Each structure stands twice: as structure tokens, then as C-alpha cells.
Amino acid sequence: MSHRFRHPLPRASLTARRLLCALVPALLGVPLALTAPAPATRVLAVSKPPAPVLPSDPAPGRLFGSPDDLSSARTLFTTAGGPRDLGYVVFGGGDAYITFDDGPDARAPGGFMVVRALGGRPGGHFDAGRDRWLSGPRAALQQPKDLELAPTRRAVIVADFGAANVKVFDMAARGDAAPRFVAANLGAPGRRPWGLAYDERADRLFVGATDGTLLVYDRFLGSRGGAGPSRTVMPTLRGEGVSANLHDLVYVRERDTVIVLDVGPATETNQAGFDTDGSLLVLRGASRASGRTPAHLRVRGPASQLGNPVGLTLDGERVFVAEKARDVVLRFDGLLTLAGDRDLAPSAAVSVIEPESVALMPGPPRPR
């Protein structure tokens, strides 16, 4: 199966894009901040460039930090000394859980690492004596994407796109550890998971699938997902389907709302719309939604700069998006108060080389 993230732009195009990286906020029409004391790092973006060919190509294994005003971004941490083909990140107790695709065993190269107290280690790197990772044939992770934590159940939930299933591991697992269980029933043959959002209080899992459907599992950990999704949601506007390839998502429990990214139907870099057909969807009543469901809000179009939006996080009313095709992290303010079909410009932007995912840093870390 062919998917857009696996087909990087030609080398000349990549070089030209990187030369423009520092100009992206201005090109987007987002005002640049005046020089001021550096605010605290709040936003973490995982960079996933293609494997380097030339010495000048961007290095893999880098995590960029930015204040929430997106006034600047810098390399905060590298995974040199560990896996470097990174994917999605989530925080638990100050530790960062990060998926990767380049484990030591080609039979099951996927995995996830746990970087302890990442926020307290600026300029640091992966340390095998302090950090840990999980990968290998027993773990059986092929191409993991998003992951979620269930702290009270001590579980790590991983969307394994490559194996077309969702795997659940113990939070303390390391090395080549087998999952607690595998949820292989996604409700339709050939369907593959990418994005996850988990409501631990309700034990409800939302899965963004690459066929454009949103899967809802009630009592996911309790039932081990064995019966498949409880409901399958197909977002619509004016009665027409509006999703093609769902990626990352967040669930806002107090509003019973899902915000989900759609990278669009173009899956090759030479296809029309590859870097312009992305969108962001807001679905209300998410825990009860089933079948064809009207989107409360869709954001798309040239002003939005959404082309290949792959990563998402939420800070109150502010939505941060990793827009991979444009080498930028975007911030949209106040989306949860809006409705309709809109082409909205981002409120702020910062250049990051091929961001794959984005997350909010936890509060002041305690050194460990």
C-alpha cells in the first residue's frame, strides 16, 4: 500500500525547501516576534526527514522545542545512540514515549522508546543506561504510528499501521517484550490504523484509519477490542463524505469532541493536491457518533496551509498541527468556538524540518 509519507520529494525540491525554512512564518503571513528573552519551551515536535543521502541532508532523530507562541524552534534532544527514525510522541509523568521504525531486527523493526524526564535534558541525547526501548520479533511492531497511555491501567496503546492492528503493552515493558494483547479487528478488511485518542475514564478508544473512517471502541481495554469497533464514523458535510485518510486526533472529554486530521486523497508527491488537500475536522458528540456524521467544522484551503497535516495536539483553545509537506508547525486559536466550512489562516507558525508529530511538554521537570 502506498502512502504519502513514504514518498519524499525529489532531492532538489527538498534542498530548496530547507533553504526557505527560516522564511516560512513570513511566507504564511504570520508576524515574526521581536527579539525578547526566550520564553519557556512548551511545544515538542518530532522531525522525520528521509534517510540522509548527502552530508548536507538533515539528520534524523531530532526533537525540536518551541515556546507556545511559536516564535522560534531549536533542537532540544536527539536520539543518537538509539533508534532515529522517529514517529509519534506522548508524555507520561514527564517521560516521553516515542515510536520508531528502525529497530535492530528487520523482521519487526518497529518499537517505542521511553526517554526519562526529557524536558529536563535540553541538548541531551538518548542514554541506554537511563532510557529504554522496546522492539523485536516478540513485540511484533512493524510500522507503529500514534500511541496513547492509560496510566491507571499501566498500558501503552500503539497503532501499528504496518501490521494493521492495535497493540497494547505494559508501561514497564522493555527489550523484546510481547504485547498484553493485539486488537486485530478493525471492522473491515485492509483497514489500517494511524491516529489514536484514549479516554481512560470511559475506557474508550478512538482510532483514525487511513480509509477515512473514525473507529470507536467502547470498553477497549476491558474487552481487549476483540469484537471490533463499537461504532464506525464517516465524517460528512452537506451529506457528502469529507475524509479520505485520517491521521492524528485528540479527544476533548469535557466537550465530547474529536479533532482529527485528514491528509487527503493524494498519496504521491507527484499527485495534484499532495501539499494542498489536507484538512482539520471537528466532530461533536464523538462518544455517541455512528455512521455518517456531520462535521461541526472543517478547516482547509490555501490560507490554512494544510497539505499533509500528520500530527496534532491541543492546549485549551489552541490547536497545534505538524504540517509535514510544508516543514512547519502551525497553531490555530479558537477553533472549538467555530463552525462551518472555513479556510482559516494559522495564528502562528514556526519552521521545523518535516515534523511528524507534536506534543505539549509537561510542567517543570524533576531531574532523575
Confidence (pLDDT) at 32: 47
Q: If pLDDT is split at 50, 70 and 90, which confidence band does 197 have?
A: very high
- With respect to residue 82, please indicate whether it lies within any of the assigned structural domains: yes
Confidence (pLDDT) at 40: 76
- With respect to residue 219, please indicate whether it lies within any of the assigned structural domains: yes
- With respect to residue 368, please indicate whether it lies within any of the assigned structural domains: no
The CATH number linked to 189 is: 2.120.10.30
- With respect to residue 120, please indicate whether it lies within any of the assigned structural domains: yes
- With respect to residue 350, please indicate whether it lies within any of the assigned structural domains: yes
Does the pLDDT of residue 245 top 60, yes or no? yes
Q: If pLDDT is split at 50, 70 and 90, which confidence band does 27 have?
A: low
Q: Give the tens place of pLDDT for each residue, 107-164.
A: 999 999 999 999 999 899 999 999 999 999 999 999 999 999 999 999 999 999 999 9
Separation of alpha carbons 216 and 104, rounded Å: 33
Does the pLDDT of residue 216 top 70, yes or no? yes
Q: If pLDDT is split at 50, 70 and 90, which confidence band does 241 have?
A: very high
Confidence (pLDDT) at 38: 56
* Percentage of residues in the chain having pLDDT higher than 90: 79
Confidence (pLDDT) at 366: 46
**Structural domain count, the chain:** 1
User: Which residue carries 499501521 as its cell?
Assistant: 161
Confidence (pLDDT) at 363: 72
- With respect to residue 16, please indicate whether it lies within any of the assigned structural domains: no
Q: If pLDDT is split at 50, 70 and 90, which confidence band does 324 have?
A: very high
Confidence (pLDDT) at 112: 98
Q: Give the tens place of pLDDT for each residue, 162-187.
A: 999 999 999 999 999 999 999 999 99
Does the pLDDT of residue 264 top 70, yes or no? yes
- With respect to residue 256, please indicate whether it lies within any of the assigned structural domains: yes
Question: Taking the model in full, what pTM does it have?
Answer: 0.89
User: What average pLDDT score do residues 48-74 get?
Assistant: 94
Confidence (pLDDT) at 61: 96
Q: If pLDDT is split at 50, 70 and 90, which confidence band does 17 have?
A: low
- With respect to residue 317, please indicate whether it lies within any of the assigned structural domains: yes
Which range of residues forms the domain containing residue 320?
40-360
Confidence (pLDDT) at 34: 45
Confidence (pLDDT) at 8: 41
Mean pLDDT of all residues belonging to the chain: 90
Q: If pLDDT is split at 50, 70 and 90, which confidence band does 364 have?
A: low
